[in-house]
Chain A
């Protein structure tokens, strides 16, 4: 018997086992990134963009800062949760759109995590990040819940402002929405706030696309 034949049999056994057992969450689920927004889903002028994370040196509320890092930059990523992210910018100075989809093992886990995040943000009405050394700055962040038309099975909209050194400030519409076991984190940031209609349209479109990959 040839060595090639033996190797083929050895490989065949795990392959058959994988096909019989199916994917990790019990049945086939579409790829998560297919549920992200694309350039065509946004108003004219947007292009793909990759945000860069600049770590701060100190925070007046580490818990709030950690949750915002987690939501906007997926830092850190949790084991057992699937992530997909996309970023768009309309020019060098925005507006920017950031989207992250998270697929949890179950609806209950997704809800539990959403409760945890909102529980922290509830206590984050005002806090600040300090950057030291070169380009020293203090950014003051304010988080306020706002009323938007609901999307998905559960959603919450927040208005976050970031004021840098009292020199310039930008606003962010942050929407957290869940459809089945998938959670969407959608940020719309700009120096000049978007009008409500446009912002809502982007949220609706993002939620609709999330629904196509949300699975069970």
Chain B
């Protein structure tokens, strides 16, 4: 059976700084994998590599069995299949919500305006955002902006969705609505890799948790085991710091 995502020996450096030092990771269809680890451990870089926003130095990444890091692969076509949501939302401020969501389906997938808007409205409605369709991003709360950003990624009907610390820029009171949306996606079987500092959420939603440390996956396993009996000293230290910071 082909995996949704299959990563082998992934290396990535920025100038002299090696950020990813040989990542191996596979994700099944409908699986939710949470990436935890300190800032700078390589979580974001890993996600950006899977979306091909960063060229990789070594290794391979395959989506549904097709290698996307090979020479001559249509980068734009690949990105359609891999949605990514960023920490800072990155909605297009000069477009209203509906236009934000329909831009890629119309321009990239070639949908007619009416069809794209119908699909977008259905998605917005599903996540309780239908009444915001004609609002501009500046008018929305951070939580609403992030939910729109998730809808925007979903509108391209990606095979996998990558979430890069999507609640880190939010007020604590706004985190729950975004997490609820992601939880709903997980229940509906969306394949996801979630980089997060929300350990409770990772434990709740993740089928598997990977602990990244200095560019390597040091430890992975079921959330309950990782959080209660981590094998590595580094994992234990990290979790202790998280607990001390009151994030668990």
Partners in one complex: no
